[in-house]
Amino acid sequence: MSNEKQREQGLYDARALGVPKMLVLGFQHVFAMFGATVLVPLITGLSVSTTLLMAGLGTLLFHLVTGGKVPAFLGSSFAFLGGFAIVAPKLADANGELTVPNVQMLPYACGGVVAAGLVYVLVAGLIHLFGVNRVMRFFPPVVTGPIIISIGLILAPSAIANASTNWLLAVAALAIIIVCNIWGKGMVKIIPILLGVLGSYALALVMGKVDFAPIAQAELFGSPIHASAMAKFDVGAILTIMPIALAAMMEHIGDMAAISATVGQNFIAKPGLARTLLGDGLATTLAGFFGGPANTTYGENTGVLALTKVYDPKVIRIAAVVAIVLSVSPKFDAIVNTIPTAIIGGISLILYGMISAIGVRNVVENQVDFTNSRNLIIAAVILVSALGFNSVGGLTLFQSESLTISLSGLAIAAILGIALNAVLPGNDYEFGKDLAGDDSANFGRY
């Protein structure tokens, strides 16, 4: 039976448990993904209902593309938060605090997400044609690691701005996440973000910091898709967000390796990285088109697989259907949106820092040699370009009365990093050399 006795005799056909237990397991997967998935729309200003719908539909689409073999749940990706912050930054409210969603620019950010998903599709096609080793040679850790580090650093000021609206709530959220992650057991360790939100929200209730008026005004049922929020396309927004796909693909590869190690089956070999990337890319494009954030395979749900040892993808598909059902209630959306900005800030303090720390981990675990001048130059150019150009609003390539084409700091950093890696001698990176269990590019996962 090998693969450590098929991962300690895990269950691969959940029908043996009966329908009621399968439903309970499906709800448990929803519980695991929920905190992180709804956090992205709360930070960006996107619709929670649309996000849940796209998570459910994206998961089902991923399972269709991969032949229903991979027990992965797709939720909203943290990797693209930096792109949203640049294209659609929050606006000031009556108190001067940056809490108001930029509804005018959010559709253009979603258009960038559509393009980013198509990058996945393109890379999946190249892998199918030329093989994974030849393609991934252009995206080694010395390129993707510094890009991931830059994403977290670019987001840092917004975390402080949100937390500063009420430091008590922010610190409470942060403390609960740390305690649950370090000392928690079982499901508590898997869902620290959700518990951080719930615990600090309870404190906000006691302090009278929650406004329930939007809940009363919201309808019980309604469409999670709004025509005004659907993707619009702008060259500048696309060039800002699309390159983030290069770093997010590393997250996908890490997740596939982690799921493979957990389940005891090599999903990178079968159904293959080309098909899993294709599924993730199509799900991301679908989500962006209808006004949702980019999707990504979720490490929280991999944790649930390890905890329950029930590896049947049908259970994940049940969770996807539950997410779709939750998405049709505007009142549920309104409840989630009552979470105070300070709580989002407190969670972001650790989330954004972990994004950068995971970039460092990506570099360290892949043993990137920074005594090598080649690697040092590539990393230095990426970091300074990303942060420097971001601080001055990017680089304008073309401007007229009707059209402006500009590159963000992240886009410039990605282009320069890939180009330098391609032209400088000494590229000895071998993809998959030590892949089993590697989740070093797993954004924001615990």
pLDDT tens, position by position, 336-391: 889 898 998 998 888 888 878 878 888 888 888 999 999 999 999 999 999 998 88
- Is pLDDT above 70 for 438? no
pLDDT tens, position by position, 67-100: 999 999 999 998 898 889 889 988 888 777 777 8
Domain extent at residue 284: 3-370
* pTM given for the model: 0.81
Domain assignment present for 86: yes
Domain assignment present for 126: yes
pLDDT of 445 reads 45
Identity of the residue numbered 310 = V
Domain assignment present for 324: yes
Mean pLDDT of 313-340: 92
3-state secondary structure of 227: helix
Residue 59, Cβ density class (10 Å: 0-12 exposed, 13-18 middle, ≥19 buried)? buried
- Are 190 and 424 spatial neighbours (Cβ–Cβ below 8 Å)? no
> Using 50, 70 and 90 to split pLDDT, how confident is the model at 399?
confident
Mean pLDDT of 208-230: 88
Q: CA-to-CA distance for 372 and 358, rounded, in angstroms?
A: 22
3-state secondary structure of 100: strand
- Is pLDDT above 80 for 432? no
Domain assignment present for 430: no
- Are 355 and 67 spatial neighbours (Cβ–Cβ below 8 Å)? no
Q: CA-to-CA distance for 88 and 44, rounded, in angstroms?
A: 8
> Per the structure, how many domains does the chain have?
1
> Using 50, 70 and 90 to split pLDDT, how confident is the model at 8?
low
Domain assignment present for 427: no
Give long-range contacts, CB 8 A cutoff, 24+ apart: 3-12.
3/264, 3/265, 4/264, 6/264, 7/262, 7/263, 7/264, 7/309, 7/311, 8/309, 9/309, 10/263, 10/264, 10/309, 10/310, 10/311, 11/309, 11/310, 11/311, 11/312, 12/311, 12/312
First to last CA, the chain: 30
Identity of the residue numbered 435 = L
pLDDT of 444 reads 43
Tokens 């990337």, residue located = 277
Residue 62: which of 269, 277, 259 has the closest Cα?
A: 277
Q: Which residues are 295's β-sheet partners?
A: 76
> Using 50, 70 and 90 to split pLDDT, how confident is the model at 433?
low
Cis ω before 271 (30° cut-off from 0): yes
Round the average pLDDT of the chain to a whole number and report it.
86
Domain assignment present for 263: yes
Mean pLDDT of 237-250: 86
Q: CA-to-CA distance for 352 and 289, rounded, in angstroms?
A: 26
Mean pLDDT of 422-435: 77
